[in-house]
Amino acid sequence: MSTASHQPGSGSPTKPVAAPSTPGRTAEGPAPVTAALEPKKRTGSCVCGHTKYEVTGDPDDPHLCACRHETRISGGPAVLWVGFPKESLRWVGPGGEPTWYASWPTLCRGFCPRCGSQLVSVAEGSDMIMVTAFSLDDRTGTDPVGFSFRDEAVPWMTIRLASDSSQPPVAAP
């Protein structure tokens, strides 16, 4: 089958006509999409799926925290947090925005009002929102590079932190 177009009633092929200039399109077809143009979007949710969110961007400062608030709220020895730009967060689930609890005068935490899953934490004046890394559907890039309140961690907990690729390597002695 020829790719040339036919004029109605002429019975003979004509030269192909160039498509009009359309954004995102070249004469050969759709323009290639570059991943660098759009920041990566990630989704996450509570355990029951009632409270869901989207964040955009690269994970920032993935770290464990073993402070008294984290261990009491989570019921575990530490929580893995990862930051994203606060303005990139959108609540997209049927439950809408979570229920908020001020666990410190300058820190609020968001949790699902239905199942109680802790999802986010935001500090007063910060442009970052911290999400619980295990609430993310895609956890690539969230291996912890830091450990807050390590001295309060349970003595049986052994942690090997990931390399922080944003920091220069430490020279061997």
In sequence order, which residues have a C-beta less than 8 Å from that of residue 12 and are 6 or more positions away? Answer: 6
Quick: pLDDT tens for 7-48. Answer: 333 343 333 333 333 334 344 555 555 555 778 999 999 999
| Regions of the chain short of the pLDDT cut 50 | 1-27, 168-173
pTM of the entire predicted model? 0.71
Q: What pLDDT is recorded for position 42? A: 97
Answer for the pair 109, 101: CB distance below 8 angstroms, yes or no.
Answer: yes
Beta-carbon neighbour count of residue 75 at 10 Å? Answer: 7
